Amino acid sequence: MIIKILFLISSLSFASFGNFLDKPNIIFILLDDLGKEWISCYGGENIETPHIDKLASSGIKFSNVYSMPQCTPSRVCFLTGQYPFRNGWVNHWDVPRWGLGYFDWKTNPSIARVMKSAGYKTAIAGKWQINDFRIHPDALIKHGFDDFCMWTGGETDLTSNEHSLKSDQRYWDPYIHTSEGSKTYKRQFGPDIYNSFILDFISNHKDQPFFIYYPMTLPHGPLVHTPLDMNASTKLEKHKAMVEYIDFLTGKLVNHLDENLLSERTIIIFTSDNGTAGNISNNRNSRLIKGGKMKTTENGVNTPFIISWPGHIPSNSNCDALIDFSDMLPTFAQLAGTSLEKEYEYDGVSFVEVLKNPLSPSPRKWILSMGSHPGVGTLNGIENTHRYRDRVVRDEYSKVFVNSKGEIEKLVDLSKDLNEKNNLLESKKYINEIAKFRQIVETFPKIDNDPIYTIIDDYPIYREGNIPSKTHKK
């Protein structure tokens, strides 16, 4: 069944959970386009990520965590605790470039508001891209963040068909939005600015609980050299350099927590919004893995997921529990000892019990991933390309692919078929498994929502050619 949580978690102190803290700090690190094959503790070859590996050894490394296959669906799912078919962000929508709609604080739940209501100081630094800061410069405040340092996204220049060159920059000479407005930071490297902002925020708020959402811009294209490897020139060299810089920045963050005696008071969650870009491959555990971004195969949606909380959760542990991005909001709310915004319907469930014991039963029987490719821009606003977007559902061992008609068209046994090549849909051996998945699929709404937002009368309608022009597929 779709889990409908009108929530429900009482404000119990975590003292009742023995070694758990009351209102621990929470830092959620979200990479932009990186699969497991590029992290050495997950078996990635031709790459060294010692700081990330150390983070994993200090906590729990998860093997069955689903993101959505592309940027916007993953991020909005995380922020809302809702699947894309519910929050409407089924397709990717690059709001600063294409306009028309936006992530609306009046009509959507917000993980930052929930944490703020629990007494947390809240901050965000990195990539947002679901509001246009020229139109809503205070959008992040309204979503519940006390402070922010954000790449603006590629803001379309309304006077021409070209995107503004200055606002496209997220790496060298980045164009960044803060509470003081938007500007270019000449001769600086954007990821350093976002990281320094976070370290300063921690220093300024170390005596009270804080929640930090750290959506890194790395290693999403354009591929560039980094301050640690100025000579990287080929596509693969630049991508590797960017991954190594992720590791470097992760180490800086962890060291800063150590120096401020905050490590045992702080939970770090490290993950990615989807798999690696499709034009980049690497070996993982002696298998060549092609980047799976925008695909619902495991290389696209089964993301690296590490949680560190020294002194409170088991170290150097592995966990096979089923978790997806809708579960972050209820989990963080429980950790904060608060409840969710009661006017909304949610799909996620808390996995706090798994943190206490990684071998405990999975809090869910199945997880889901869906959503990719640009939506449709019309005079009515943003619409999705399908009335029912294709998706995948998996349990502990098996996985089904569901087409845009709501039909299961493929079943794979992940315990035996890592490449997801063998369709077992007609196998009598799996008849009960198929029936179980069909029951799950029947619980989904028959029509996906479009993005939900408040129409702005004077919101710019961008000229044809600057927005996708597809129509709904019936």
Domain edges within the chain: 14-368
Q: What is the mean pLDDT of residues 307-332?
A: 97
Looking at residue 441, its pLDDT comes to: 98
Looking at residue 7, its pLDDT comes to: 35
Please state which of the four CATH numbers 3.40.720.10, 2.130.10.10, 3.40.50.720, 2.60.40.10 is assigned to the domain occupying 14-368.
3.40.720.10
Looking at residue 106, its pLDDT comes to: 95
Looking at residue 379, its pLDDT comes to: 72
Looking at residue 463, its pLDDT comes to: 43
pLDDT tier at 98 (50, 70, 90 boundaries)?
A: confident
Is residue 267 within 8 A of residue 26, CB to CB? The reply is yes
Q: Order of strands, edge to edge, in the sheet holding 121-127?
A: 181-184, 175-178, 147-151, 121-127, 210-215, 25-31, 266-272, 305-308, 59-62, 317-319
Who's near 75: CB < 8 A, 6+ residues apart? 30, 129, 130, 215, 273
Prediction pTM value: 0.94
d(CA 111, CA 172): 30
DSSP codes, 102-143: ---TTTS--HHHHHHHTT-EEEEEEE--SS-TTT-TTHHHHH
Looking at residue 382, its pLDDT comes to: 87
Looking at residue 9, its pLDDT comes to: 34
Question: pLDDT tens for residues 335-394?
Answer: 999 999 999 999 999 999 999 999 999 999 999 999 999 998 877 788 999 999 999 999
Number of helices and strands in the chain (H, E) = 13, 20
Question: pLDDT tens for residues 140-184?
Answer: 999 999 999 999 999 986 666 555 778 999 999 999 999 999 999
SS3 for 368? strand
Average predicted confidence (pLDDT) for the chain: 91
pLDDT-above-70 percentage for the chain: 90
pLDDT tier at 14 (50, 70, 90 boundaries)?
A: very low
Q: What is the mean pLDDT of residues 39-67?
A: 98
pLDDT tier at 459 (50, 70, 90 boundaries)?
A: low
Looking at residue 100, its pLDDT comes to: 83
What angle separates helix 328-336 from helix 71-80, to the nearest 10 degrees? 30
SS3 for 157? coil
pLDDT tier at 457 (50, 70, 90 boundaries)?
A: low
Which residue did the predictor score with more confidence, 469 or 426? 426
Looking at residue 471, its pLDDT comes to: 42
Looking at residue 373, its pLDDT comes to: 94
Q: What is the mean pLDDT of residues 82-89?
A: 98
Q: What is the mean pLDDT of residues 110-134?
A: 97
* Residue 461 clears pLDDT 80, i.e. is over it: no
* Residue 405 clears pLDDT 90, i.e. is over it: yes
Question: pLDDT tens for residues 202-259?
Answer: 999 999 999 999 999 999 999 999 999 999 999 999 999 999 999 999 999 999 999 9
pLDDT tier at 456 (50, 70, 90 boundaries)?
A: confident
Looking at residue 166, its pLDDT comes to: 85
Phi, psi for 320 (deg, rounded to 5) = -100, 10
Looking at residue 161, its pLDDT comes to: 55
* H or E stretch covering 80: helix 71-80
d(CA 191, CA 244): 12
d(CA 75, CA 84): 10
pLDDT tier at 455 (50, 70, 90 boundaries)?
A: confident
Q: What is the mean pLDDT of residues 82-109?
A: 94
SS3 for 96? helix
